[in-house]
A = this chain, B = another copy of it.
Amino acid sequence: LREKAIRHRDTIMVGRTHGVHAEPMTFGLKLLVWYAELGRHEKRLAEAVENLRVGKLSGAVGTLTHLPMEVEERTLERLGLSAAPVSTQVVQRDRHAHLVTTLALIGASLEKFSTEIRNLQRTEIREVQEPFRRGQKGSSAMPHKRNPILCERVTGLARLLRAYVLPALENVALWHERDISHSSVERVIIPDAFFALDYALDKMTGVLADLVVDEERMEQNLESTGGLVYSQKILLALTQRLGSREKAYAAVQEAGRHVWEEGGHLRDWLMKDPTVTKELTREEIDGLMNPRDYLRSVEDIFRRVLGEEDSA
């Protein structure tokens, strides 16, 4: 992800909110968000694993009656574990629940990545595409299809991972010094959660490694909405000239409405409005509609995430 983010640091595409074109951004910035998120998960996972790196040999109810503490500690040390400072018949299950919630958190991010790729692979968008081997069949009935099936699979696995959180949390409240209700649960959810996450990570790694990125299409999509994506830049400039955000907003919104409903370019509709033309020339408006302006801080953001040398 880091490598891909750096490679696409300046690959301009439209940023979308609510599924609707918002403002220009870069594909690398999108990947950088993911990269930073995985960094947080790496830290969370390390903490959760550290929490679980304990054992106990303290006997049937945790009193360390039949074995000296030193034997407990030295034996566990040999296994690469430390002794739980205090325990019942078992290591307390908040430690296991912490792990499972962490796996589900990672799964939720994989769901974010895979949902994003699925959305960007839509026929009408087609800015990225899951790797598709020559000769692979997308659909047995419809020979033209190329479907983001790996990302869809990962989306489903995130649902499974989420599900395992609940029984893990219910397992914490064992009765007294232990009942064994957690056991039938853990035999299923601990291996299944690891299998599901491992598989999902593996698939997502493969998808990202060979992701097809269509920069031309990104540019086309960005331009497809007749300059609407620059509406905020126009708004800010017009507000400054008019001295009224309200009036500027009304003018830009009205021009935008024309673009949505009748097509054409925002610049042209703006040029039909005297409120605008009194304040801004066609050249000034065109000057505000430059996607490169939106890259102004991208390098700094990369530096903030990756550090000085890595973001080069």
Contact = CB atoms under 8 A, between A and B. Distances in A.
Given A17-B176, A148-B19, A169-B162, A304 B122 contact: no
- Give the size category of A's interface with B: 35 or more
A119 to B, nearest CB: 6
Interface string A161-200: 0111111011111111111111111001100100010000
Interface in A105-135: 105, 107-109, 111-112, 115-116, 118-119, 121-125
As for how many copies of this chain the complex holds, the number is 4
A176 B19 contact: yes
Interface in A7-55: 15-26, 29-30, 32-33, 36-37, 40-41, 44, 47, 51
Which applies to chain A's interface (DSSP): helix, strand, loop or mixed?
A: helix
A66 interface: yes
Given A124-B125, A163-B164, A181-B155, A33 B18 contact: no
A213 to B, nearest CB: 14
Given A85-B36, A182-B156, A20 B60 contact: no
Given A64-B300, A119-B175, A173-B108, A249 B143 contact: yes
B94 A105 contact: yes
A78 interface: no
A64 B66 CA distance: 53
Contacts of A297: 58, 63-65, 68-69
Interface string A204-240: 0000000000000000010011001101100110000
A144 B60 contact: no
Nearest to A14: B123
A116 B176 contact: yes
Contacts of A162: 166-167, 169-170
Given A18-B148, A152-B179, A108 B172 contact: yes
Contacts of A144: 225, 228-229, 231, 252-253, 256, 259-260, 266
A22 B145 contact: yes
Interface centre among A123, A147, A231, A301 (most CB of B within 10 A): A123
Given A22-B60, A147-B17, A232 B47 contact: no
B86 A29 contact: yes
B124 A221 contact: yes
A142 B180 contact: no
14 contacts: A15-B63, A16-B175, A19-B175, A25-B62, A86-B304, A86-B305, A101-B101, A112-B172, A119-B176, A124-B224, A141-B232, A149-B180, A152-B180, A156-B181
